[in-house]
Amino acid sequence: MKKSVILLIVLSILFSGCAWFEKSREDKPAQELIKEGMAEYEEGNYKDAIKSFEQLRDWYPFSKYAILAELKIADAYYNLESYADAVFAYEEFERLHPRNEAIPYVIYREGLCYFNRIDTIDRDQTNAVKALDIFQRLVKQFPSDPYSVMARTDIIKCYKSIAGHELYVGKFYYKAKKYKAALERFKRVVIRYPDVGTHQEALLYIANCEALIDE
């Protein structure tokens, strides 16, 4: 008898919980959630916007607004400079919607998530390398797209940062009289990266290194 009473209580709680959840969903249809999210986004309240967009995505995955919500989640994280979360969201969007017309924009923003974190030439260039790879992929996939045009400018900046780093390290080895290690770095500047203002200096150091190694 007691077991039956307990079971009835549990079932009552479960059903009332489901009813509350359904009521919450009914209180905020997809159209209202997208309006709320976009309003918060336009006001710069990105965290609140993300909440509305995530509710829409999770509650109404087949809504015509769901794809927009997914994209705006990524954009909101980007604007918050939460770049790791933004990259994840953009990559997920690209994976789920590979034929969507927004894909060039999505790939470009992925690249910017790394590009915006490029450090000075004396620091690690991982972000520059990742940004370069993504921008090059964009240009290869969508050569005529306006976002590819912007990416080409950023590609030059990536090259400049990476080449500058190689030159910086080469000079460090050169001053330490480690001429073979320095020579490898200077050659890398000339061979791997287009001329972005570093070739002439690198070639001069190459000649000096080779002369000093042969002594």
Distance of alpha carbon 142 from the chain centroid = 18
Tell me the three-class secondary structure of 148-189, residue by residue: HHHHHHHHHHHHHHHHHHHHHHHHHHHHCCCHHHHHHHHHHH
What is the C-alpha to C-alpha distance for residues 59 and 64, in angstroms, rounded to an integer? Answer: 12
Amino acid 5: pLDDT: 41
Distances (CA, A) of 159 to 4, 128, 133: 72, 8, 11
- CB of 182 closer than 8 Å to CB of 202: no
Q: Which tens digits make up the pLDDT trace of 154-195?
A: 999 999 999 999 999 999 999 999 999 999 999 999 999 988
Mean pLDDT of all residues in 87-93: 98
CATH 1.10.540.10 fits 1-100, yes or no: no
Identify residue 178 by its one-letter amino acid code: K
27 pLDDT band, cuts 50/70/90, is low
- Name the more confident of 214 and 92: 92
- CB of 53 closer than 8 Å to CB of 77: no
Go through 70-106 and write b for each residue having 16 or more CB atoms within 10 A of its CB, e for each that does not.
bbbbbbbbbeeebbebbbbbbeebbeeeeeeebbbbb
- Domain boundary assignment for the chain: 1-100, 111-215
128: CB partners within 8 A, 6+ apart: 114, 115, 118, 158, 161, 162, 165
111-215 has which fold? 1.25.40
pLDDT at residue 2 greater than cutoff 70: no
Domain pair 1-100 / 111-215, same fold: yes
Amino acid 17: pLDDT: 47
pLDDT at residue 196 greater than cutoff 70: yes
Mean pLDDT of all residues in 113-125: 97
